């Protein structure tokens, strides 16, 4: 039985370091190659030695697919391809290919330049790695080799986020990456067709939550800042952000207009500025409304938002700053946070999920004393708010996607074990399909049961369909007969006659003749007629003919009558049939041996 | 339906639609036949010996009579120029099918349609000329009106509402996306390299493949390069959309375009470029971007005037996925893929929706104006013709190949303005096509009749036609062509349960056979075979005898047999089963075995075996099984 094996090297019952190995139809595919924000040691990257102990991965992987540009999905890519060694194709969408190297470079700078780590990938390695990238278009079927094909679907998580359908023969797997089932201000909702994969590998970050609409949360963010503004003229605020921050900028921008808010709004330069350019150029990846109106009004040009400079952090008066990264684990957002943490008038709004180990995670859990590098501690007095803007599917969304794709099995990754457990129960109950949730390094094996594709001769098919009628009777299915010819790699189903012809074989006729003696005091002709009437009454649904040449035919079985030489009342019946009618012939000879019933006319 | 383009050359028979009142046009004399019997002066006007219809211009539609349009399931669009007749096909015809096109094709196609509607509706013309279309009257008109075909089917332009409704039937597809149609065939668009989102189509089943090659280019311009390798192994390749200018080299034309433009500007004249608002104009602007500085034209204003100018320029920048590699990599920086963004930013290129409004106040001469429509019959270009036509300082440069420039200029004669004809048609020429066909090797080529002979005007140029072995199958308007392949096989799926129950036997080295008895299920043109369900267990019968009398229920014919029964081996097998008294008699075709104790005859021949056995059913079945041992079943 063919099997599909799925092994997470990261994101198995965990969030972060997404990296999932899939073996399907003799092909090995790596889905995502991310880093873990919560670790600074070896655990930050997936354990590639699981694939092979000795070095390069090229021989062991047919392709690598990156779902989107977030570092927990692509952060380990240059390490994997350039330091461990992989030269095969890496697939990602155009926007991901555009934005991913910038985030990697940023990540590298923070790690090497700021933290001083040495054994890390270089800028050149990022470039070399990106040269191996093959861009994917939505819905394009990409033939990785003769057997393996992949197709990307819109995932709506960030710009360029994709789900992938991986197919070998008639077996297939769908990997969702991170996705969102409700359209938001800028992105559309994830969509997939009814592709019925053998396994659907889904993220499950919000496996147990059902969230209100994003519009409500956006209003929340704005009102929060308005309240601050009215009550505390001295208030300051930090809103850490991820790259999808165009979102928040546009919310705030339009809000400021409406509320006549005077406090300046800043966003951190560099990354974010570029990010907006990407949104402009990849407008086809945003939602319907933006695409329709972009000629008149580009959503990504903001009137009220100014670029942030480090020195502004000490400016007097309230201000709003959007800064990255969103989990406060490094970079500008962390710097500003450290500066402002001591004042209870300030506030930080965490816009999304924070991985365990990050400062974001700690303060969300109510920790008020933070241990910083060099044994210093930081008292957190500012207010901490959580408003989830990260575009993940919630439980409802995950169920919705299952309904869309109709998978035969479900496999959960990118979530916490307890939450997964809950969702697994729900899925198994509602859809009656198996749901797996392997931990890192653990393999889930799914046995598939593929149908065998065969070429049927059109003659045979048409004959069969004509006989079956337009609406076949489900109670009385017609049986079709044919011969399957297996030659090299081809499988052809043809009628038996055609098979004989094609293979140049002679047909061998096997015939049987059987004489049956019968006591019947009538003329030969009458006896024959009596046989005809008898068989008519016994054999329903068979073709029975009384032919003028003195024979009775039942299907292709011939019955003749002659009188015995000695006794005119003893009749000799001659039955003759071919092997193809063996069952009927055998039945008839047995039946007629019992004689004809009296009372036949 | 493969494409539905609009023949717009019909508009050349009409008078131009001026944006502002033109005394010259309104003073043109009406036409009266020489003998005075035919007076159509209201409908027909004469200008320097040519006769034009004074009415809203009309288009020649694709054939609509030959078939019932409501029976069309699918329309495949290859590029935005080939969809301009869509509203005529999908609206008010009962059409309920789906149209497939790529996203740039849809968006830019919409812009071109919008522009066309706008050009027409901006200058409404109350009069609709119909008398001249009368067969008897048309016969008496001067050429080329006399020779215009199917004039009674010509139609006025559609409305925006019809455009929107037609385009709502479009389903977007991406390159190499496989789209299943009714389970029967799969269609897939491939990059054709001609324009943004332009595609060739593959239509295939499991065993047959038809390629539709339309409007393709091998030149490096802005679109993604042509995908040639996917066209391989086609049974039939339908070839159309070759260059209309087989003798003009696009690069040379581009050079001529630039030098004429510079020359006119330097002499203080204006340059008018009648063009479509998407397509070659992007390449022209890119070419000018590099040329402006070197030719010292930095201060010359360039104007692009069209109701969709802004949209066209904006849209071109957001289709990175559909662009050539160079432009794609610009987006990664991130920079706009086309340099016209910079031309706009530096105010070298300005775009306006029409000559009214801002343009009239900002307009400076000498300048270069890109505007439509290239037929010179409607759109803002009409105004510039009236404005600049009288001065020999000005130049009109034709770049679009769709219209004969002499015909286009006819209603403006006499003209003092210089005319330069440098048509830029990047589509395949005959040389490129024969190279391509050698590469992809289709079994048969189907093409328009025109490609099978040299052009009428250059009948000696045998290099301007398709010469192939086997010769291409030509088609002409309204002809019906049978594609030369016979379908022999169809795909069927054997369900795992049935597949596991099959018993293959090797009949020749490398060839195995298995007999299959199965139930066929056909749904949405997908066929599956599954095991024959086991009959429900017989209800326990009270009389055992009755059971025997039941005739066999399932009519399951036995397999065919093949091979021969070897005499010696058969005899020894008989012996093993206790049949020893066998008398063998040789006949012409084989042997007759007389089983004396059992009073049974077996006739063994090369291609048949006949068992004559009376009154001994157990023996007969034993013999049967022994014979079967030596034979192969099919």
pLDDT digits (tens, 9 = 90+) for B592-634: 988 888 788 899 888 889 999 887 888 888 888 888 888 888 7
Above 90 in pLDDT, residue B238? yes
Q: Is B634 on the interface with A (CB under 8 A)?
A: yes
With CA atoms as reference, report the closest residue to B196 among B253, B119, B252, B276: B276
CA distance B561 to B624: 12
Top residue of A479, A554, A572 to mutate, by most chain B CBs within 10 Å, is A479
Q: Which of B422, B442, B459, B370 is nearest to B254 (CA)?
A: B422
A508 to chain B, any CB pair closer than 8 A? The answer is: yes
What DSSP string describes A339-389? HHTT-TT-EEEE-S---TTSHHHHHHTT--EEE-GGG-EEE--SEEEE---
* CATH value at residue A56: 3.60.15.10
Whether B534 maps to a domain, the answer reads no
Q: How many helices (H) and strands (E) does chain A have?
A: 16, 30
Q: Which long-range contacts (CB under 8 A, 24 or more apart) does A269-276 make?
A: A269/A307, A269/A308, A269/A309, A271/A102, A271/A103, A271/A106, A271/A243, A271/A324, A272/A241, A272/A243, A272/A245, A272/A322, A272/A324, A273/A307, A274/A102, A274/B334, A275/A99, A275/A243, A275/A245, A275/A246, A276/A246, A276/A249, A276/A300, A276/A302
A508 neighbourhood in chain B, CB within 8 Å:
561-565, 607-609, 631
A253: DSSP letter: H
Question: How many structural domains is chain B composed of?
Answer: 4
If asked whether residues B367 and B450 sit together in one domain, one would say no
Dig out the tokens for B447 from the structure. Answer: 């093409």
Same domain, A232 and A378: yes
Q: Is B131 near chain A, with CB under 8 Å? A: no
**A169: helix, strand or coil:** coil
Establish if B471 touches chain A: CB-CB under 8 angstroms.
no
Query: Which tokens hold the place of B22?
Result: 């033109």
Give yes or no: residues B161 and B214 share one domain. no
Q: Residue A321 contacts by C-beta under 8 Å, 6 or more apart in sequence? A: A237, A238, A239, A265, A266, A267, A268, A308, A312, A313, A336
Domain with residue A290: its CATH number is 3.40.50.10890
CB–CB of A402/A427 below 8 Å? Answer: yes
Q: How far A419 CA sits from the closest chain B CA (Å)?
A: 36
Cis peptide before B373 (omega within 30 of 0): yes
Work out the end-to-end distance of chain B between its first and last CA atoms, rounded to an integer number of angstroms.
44
pLDDT of res. B607? 86
Which of the listed residues B122, B137, B170 is the one where a domain comes to its end? Answer: B170
CA–CA separation, A369 and A385 (whole Å): 17
A466 in reach of chain B (CB within 8 A): no
Residues B354 and B256 in one domain: yes
Give residue B72's domain range.
1-170
Calculate the CA dihedral of residues A329, A332, A338, A340 and round it to 10 degrees: -130
Residue A428 and residue A463 share a domain: no
Give how many domains chain A has, as a whole number: 4
**Residue A205 near residue A191 (C-beta atoms within 8 A):** no
Q: Which residues of A are catalytic, by number?
A: 203
3-class DSSP state of B259 = helix
- CA-to-CA distance for A545 and A547, rounded, in angstroms? 6
List, in sequence order, every beta strand (DSSP E) within B85-195: 98-101, 170-172, 179-181, 185-191
Contact B11, B58 (CB under 8 A): yes
Please give the residue of chain B at the shortest CA–CA distance from A512.
B611
Asked if A484 reaches chain B (Cβ–Cβ under 8 Å), the answer is yes
Asked whether residue B542 is assigned to any structural domain, the reply reads: no
Specify if B601 maps to a domain: yes
A465 and A525, same domain (yes or no): no
Residue A407 and residue A528 share a domain: no
Q: Evaluate whether residue A476 is within a structural domain.
A: no
Residues B312 and B378 placed together within one structural domain of the fold: yes
Q: Do A74 and A108 lie in a common domain?
A: yes
> What is the model's pLDDT at position A241?
41
The reply to whether B328 touches chain A by the CB within 8 Å rule is yes
CA distance linking residue B345 with residue B326, whole number of Å: 21
* Whether B227 and B296 share a structural domain: no
Tell whether A338 and A374 lie within a shared domain.
yes
Residues of A in contact with B608 (CB under 8 A): 508-511
B509 belongs to a structural domain: no
Indicate whether B141 belongs to any domain.
yes
Q: Are the beta carbons of B206 and A455 separated by less than 8 Å?
A: yes
Which H/E stretch holds residue A528? helix A524-538
Q: What angle do CA B47, B52, B54 make, to 5 degrees?
A: 110
CA atoms of B577 and B597, how far apart (whole Å): 13
Whether the per-residue pLDDT at B90 is higher than 50: the answer is yes
Q: Do A508 and B319 touch (CB under 8 A)?
A: no
Structural domain contains residue A600: no
CA triplet B339, B343, B349: central angle to 5 degrees?
A: 130
Task: Let me know whether B255 and B208 are in one domain.
Answer: no
Sequential DSSP letters for B593-608: EEETTTTEEEEEETTE
Pair A322, A357 in one domain: yes
Residue A353 touches partner B, C-beta closer than 8 Å: no
Q: What is the CATH number of the domain that holds B289?
A: 3.40.50.10890
Beta bridge partners of B15: none
Residue A301 has a pLDDT of 66
Q: How many CB pairs under 8 A join A and B?
A: 262
| Cα(A189)–Cα(A163) distance, integer angstroms | 12
| Residue B111 sits in the same domain as residue B71 | yes
Regarding whether A201 and A127 lie in a shared domain, the answer is yes
Whether B181 and B166 map to the same domain: the answer is no
pLDDT for residue B34:
80
More confident residue, B119 or A355: B119
User: Are A508 and B609 in contact (CB < 8 Å)?
Assistant: yes
CATH code, domain carrying A582: 3.30.310.80
* First-last CA distance in chain A: 62
Average pLDDT over residues B196-213: 95
Q: Are residues A43 and A177 in the same domain?
A: yes
Interface test with B, best of A97, A452, A534, A573 (most B CBs within 10 A): A452
On whether both B449 and B467 belong to a single domain, the answer is yes
A452 interaction partners in chain B (CB closer than 8 Å): 493-494, 496, 499
Q: Which residue has 């910079």 as its token pair?
A: B342
Q: Are B281 and B213 members of one domain?
A: no
The domain boundary, picked from B112, B136, B170, lies at: B170
Residue B529, domain member (yes or no):
no
Q: Are residues A348 and A437 in the same domain?
A: no
Q: Does B332 touch chain A (CB under 8 A)?
A: yes
What proportion of chain B, given as a percentage, has pLDDT over 90? 60
Q: Which domain holds residue A258?
A: 214-386
Chain A residues in contact with B495 by the CB 8 A cut-off are 451
Report how far residue A139's alpha carbon sits from residue A135's, in angstroms, rounded to the nearest whole number: 12
B618 near A CB under 8 A: no
pLDDT beyond 90 at B121:
yes
Residue B629 touches chain A, beta carbons under 8 Å: no
Which of A138, A295, A593 minimises the CB distance to B174? Answer: A138
Q: Kindly state the DSSP code that residue B30 receives in the 8-state scheme.
A: B
Rg (CA), chain B: 37
Flag whether pLDDT at B437 surpasses 70.
yes
Chain B residues touching A497 at Cβ < 8 A: 560
**B381 and B312 within one domain:** yes
Q: What whole-number distance in Å separates Cα of residue B240 and Cα of residue A111?
A: 58
One domain for residues B74 and B162? yes
Provide the pLDDT for residue B191. Answer: 96
B527 within some domain: no
**Min CA distance, A593 vs chain B (Å)?**
8
Task: Report the distance separating Cα B632 and Cα B630, nearest Å.
Answer: 7
The CB density around residue A118, as the number of other CB atoms within 10 Å, is 6
The domain that holds B624 is classified in CATH as 3.30.310
Q: Which residues of A touch B554 (CB under 8 A)?
A: 479
Domain membership flag for residue A475: no
CA–CA separation, B90 vs B158, rounded Å?
A: 12
Question: CA nearest B184: which of B201, B200, B204?
Answer: B204
One domain, residues A42 and A175: yes
Residue with tokens 């068992």: B611
Judging contacts by C-beta atoms under 8 Å, the chain B residues touching residue A509 are 561, 607-610
Helix (H) or strand (E) holding B51: strand B50-53
The answer to whether A511 contacts B634, with C-beta atoms less than 8 Å apart, is: no
Which chain B residues are within 8 Å of A593, Cβ to Cβ?
Answer: 615
Which A positions 424-463 lie with beta carbon below 8 A of chain B? 449-458, 461
Residues of chain A scoring pLDDT < 50: 228-250
Site from B183, B560, B622 to mutate, A interface, most A CB atoms within 10 angstroms: B560
For residue A447, being part of any structural domain is answered with no
Bridge partners (DSSP) of residue A8 are A20
If asked whether residues A109 and A146 sit together in one domain, one would say yes
Min distance B443 CA to chain A CA atoms (Å): 21
The predicted structure's pLDDT at residue A597: 78
Residue A334: the pLDDT is 85
In chain B, residues 547-586 whose CB comes closer than 8 Å to chain A: 548-549, 551-552, 554, 556-565
Put simply, the answer to whether A513 touches B612 (Cβ < 8 Å) is yes
Per-residue model confidence as pLDDT tens digits over B279-337: 999 999 999 999 998 888 889 999 999 999 999 999 999 999 999 999 999 998 889 99
Give the per-residue pLDDT at A236: 43
Q: According to the model, what pLDDT value does residue A261 have?
A: 65
User: Is B262:B397 a contact under the CB 8 Å cutoff?
Assistant: no
Please, are residues A304 and A265 in contact by the beta-carbon 8 Å criterion? yes
Q: Is residue A395 part of a domain?
A: yes
Residue B500 lies in a domain: no
Q: What is the enclosing helix (H) or strand (E) of B109?
A: helix B103-122
Distance CA B622, CA B619 (A): 5
Contact status of B173 with chain A (Cβ, < 8 Å): yes
Structure tokens of A515?
């004489």
What pLDDT was estimated at residue A475? 66
């Amino acid at each position: 039985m063919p099997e599909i094996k799925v092994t997470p090297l990261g994101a198995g019952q965990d969030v972060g370091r997404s990296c999932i190995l899939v073996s399907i139809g003799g092909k090995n595919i790596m889905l995502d190659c991310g880093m873990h924000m919560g670790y600074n040691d070896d655990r930050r990257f997936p354990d590639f030695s699981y694939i092979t102990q000795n070095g390069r991965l090229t021989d062991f992987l047919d392709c690598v697919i990156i779902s989107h540009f977030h570092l927990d999905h692509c952060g380990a890519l240059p390490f994997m391809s350039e330091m461990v060694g992989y030269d095969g194709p890496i697939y990602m969408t155009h926007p991901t290919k555009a934005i991913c190297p910038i985030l990697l470079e940023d990540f590298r700078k923070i790690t090497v330049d700021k933290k001083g780590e040495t054994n890390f990938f270089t800028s050149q390695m990022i470039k070399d790695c990106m040269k191996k990238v093959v861009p994917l278009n939505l819905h394009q079927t990409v033939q990785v080799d003769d057997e393996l094909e992949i197709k990307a679907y819109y995932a709506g998580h960030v710009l360029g986020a994709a789900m992938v359908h991986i197919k070998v023969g008639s077996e297939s797997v769908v990997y969702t990456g991170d996705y969102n089932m409700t359209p938001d201000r800028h992105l559309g909702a994830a969509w997939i067709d009814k592709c019925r994969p053998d396994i659907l590998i889904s993220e499950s970050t919000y496996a147990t939550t059902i969230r209100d609409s994003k519009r409500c949360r956006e209003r929340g963010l704005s009102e929060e800042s308005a309240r601050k503004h009215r009550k505390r003229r001295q208030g300051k605020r930090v809103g850490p952000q991820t790259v999808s921050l165009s979102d928040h900028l546009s919310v705030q921008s339009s809000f400021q207009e409406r509320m006549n808010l005077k406090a300046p709004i800043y966003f951190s330069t560099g990354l974010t500025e570029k990010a907006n350019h990407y949104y402009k150029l990849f407008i086809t990846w945003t939602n319907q409304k933006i695409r329709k109106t972009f000629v008149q009004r580009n959503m990504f040009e903001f009137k009220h938002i100014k670029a942030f400079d480090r020195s502004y952090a000490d400016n007097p008066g309230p201000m709003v700053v959007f800064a990255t990264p969103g989990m406060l684990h490094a970079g500008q957002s962390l710097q500003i946070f450290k500066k402002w943490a001591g004042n209870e008038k300030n506030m930080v709004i965490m816009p999304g999920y924070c991985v365990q180990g990050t400062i974001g995670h700690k303060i969300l859990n109510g920790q008020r004393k933070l241990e910083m590098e060099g044994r210093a501690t930081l008292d957190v007095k500012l207010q901490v708010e959580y408003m989830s803007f990260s575009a993940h599917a919630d439980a409802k969304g995950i169920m919705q996607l299952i309904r869309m794709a109709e998978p035969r099995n479900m496999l959960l990754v990118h979530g916490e074990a307890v939450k997964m457990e809950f969702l697994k129960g729900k899925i198994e109950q509602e859809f009656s399909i198996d749901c797996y949730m392997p931990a890192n390094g653990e393999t889930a094996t799914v046995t598939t049961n593929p149908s065998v594709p065969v070429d049927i001769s059109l003659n045979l098919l048409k004959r069969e369909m004509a006989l079956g009628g337009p609406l076949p009777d489900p109670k009385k299915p017609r049986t079709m007969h044919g011969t399957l010819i297996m030659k090299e790699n081809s499988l052809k189903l043809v009628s038996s006659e055609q098979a004989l012809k094609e293979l140049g074989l002679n047909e061998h006729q096997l015939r049987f003749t059987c004489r049956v003696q019968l006591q019947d005091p009538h003329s030969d002709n009458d006896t024959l007629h009596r046989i005809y009437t008898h068989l008519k009454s016994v054999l329903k649904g068979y073709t029975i003919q009384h032919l003028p040449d003195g024979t009775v035919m039942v299907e292709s079985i011939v019955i003749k009558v002659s009188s015995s030489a000695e006794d005119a009342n003893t009749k000799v019946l001659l039955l003759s049939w071919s092997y193809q009618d063996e069952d009927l012939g055998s039945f008839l000879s047995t039946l007629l041996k019992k004689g004809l019933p009296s009372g036949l006319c | 339906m493969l494409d539905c383009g609009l023949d717009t050359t019909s508009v050349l028979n009409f008078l131009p639609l001026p944006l502002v009142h033109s005394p010259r046009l309104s003073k043109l004399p009406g036409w009266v036949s020489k003998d005075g019997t035919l007076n159509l002066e209201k409908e027909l006007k004469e200008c320097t010996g040519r006769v034009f219809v004074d009415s809203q211009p009309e288009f020649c539609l694709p054939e609509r009579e030959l078939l019932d349009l409501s029976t069309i399931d699918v329309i495949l669009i290859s590029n935005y120029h080939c969809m301009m007749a869509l509203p005529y096909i999908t609206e008010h015809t009962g059409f309920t099918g789906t149209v497939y096109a790529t996203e740039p094709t849809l968006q830019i196609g919409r812009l071109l349609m919008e522009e066309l509607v706008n050009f027409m509706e901006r200058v409404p013309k109350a009069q609709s000329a119909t008398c001249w279309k009368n067969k008897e009257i048309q016969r008496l008109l001067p050429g080329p009106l006399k020779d215009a075909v199917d004039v009674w089917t010509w139609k006025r332009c559609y409305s925006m509402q019809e455009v929107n409704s037609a385009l709502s039937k479009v389903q977007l597809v991406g390159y190499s996306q496989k789209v299943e149609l009714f389970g029967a065939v799969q269609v897939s668009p491939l990059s054709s390299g001609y324009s943004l989102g332009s595609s060739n189509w593959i239509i295939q089943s499991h065993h047959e493949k038809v390629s539709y090659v339309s409007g393709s280019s091998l030149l490096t311009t802005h679109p993604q390069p042509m995908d040639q390798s996917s066209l391989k192994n086609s049974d039939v390749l339908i070839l159309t959309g070759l260059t209309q200018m087989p003798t003009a080299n696009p690069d040379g034309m581009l050079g001529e375009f630039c030098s004429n433009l510079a020359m006119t500007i330097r002499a203080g004249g204006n340059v008018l470029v009648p063009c479509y608002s998407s397509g070659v104009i992007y390449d022209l602007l890119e070419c000018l971007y590099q040329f402006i500085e070197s030719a010292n034209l930095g201060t010359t204003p360039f104007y692009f005037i069209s109701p969709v100018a802004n949209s066209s320029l904006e849209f071109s920048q957001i289709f990175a996925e559909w662009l050539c590699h160079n432009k794609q990599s610009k987006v990664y920086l991130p920079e706009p893929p086309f340099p016209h963004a910079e031309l706009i930013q530096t105010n070298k290129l300005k775009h306006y929706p029409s000559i009214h409004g801002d343009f009239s106040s900002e307009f400076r001469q000498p300048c270069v104006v890109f505007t439509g429509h290239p037929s010179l019959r409607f759109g803002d270009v009409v105004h510039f013709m009236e404005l600049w036509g009288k001065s020999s300082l000005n130049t009109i440069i034709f770049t679009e190949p769709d219209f004969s420039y002499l015909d286009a200029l006819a209603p403006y004669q006499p003209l003092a303005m210089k005319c330069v004809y440098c048509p830029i048609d990047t589509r395949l020429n005959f040389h490129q096509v024969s190279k391509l066909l050698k590469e992809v090797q289709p079994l048969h080529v189907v093409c328009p009749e025109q490609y099978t002979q040299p052009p009428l005007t250059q009948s000696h140029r045998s290099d301007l036609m398709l010469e192939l072995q086997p010769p291409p199958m030509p088609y002409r308007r309204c002809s019906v062509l049978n594609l030369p392949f016979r379908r022999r096989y169809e795909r069927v799926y054997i369900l795992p349960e049935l597949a596991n129950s099959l018993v293959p036997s090797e009949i020749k080295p490398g060839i195995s056979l298995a007999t299959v008895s199965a139930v066929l299920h056909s749904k949405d043109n997908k066929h599956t075979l599954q095991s024959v369900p086991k009959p429900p267990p017989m209800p326990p019968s009270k009389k055992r005898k009755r059971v025997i009398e039941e005739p066999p229920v399932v009519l399951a014919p036995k397999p065919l047999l093949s091979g021969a029964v070897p005499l010696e081996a058969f005899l020894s097998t008989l012996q093993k089963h206790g049949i020893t008294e066998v008398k063998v008699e040789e006949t012409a075709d084989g042997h007759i075995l007389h089983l004396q104790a059992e009073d049974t005859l077996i006739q063994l021949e090369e291609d048949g075996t006949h068992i004559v056995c009376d009154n001994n059913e157990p023996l007969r079945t034993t013999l049967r099984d022994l014979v079967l041992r030596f034979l192969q079943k099919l």
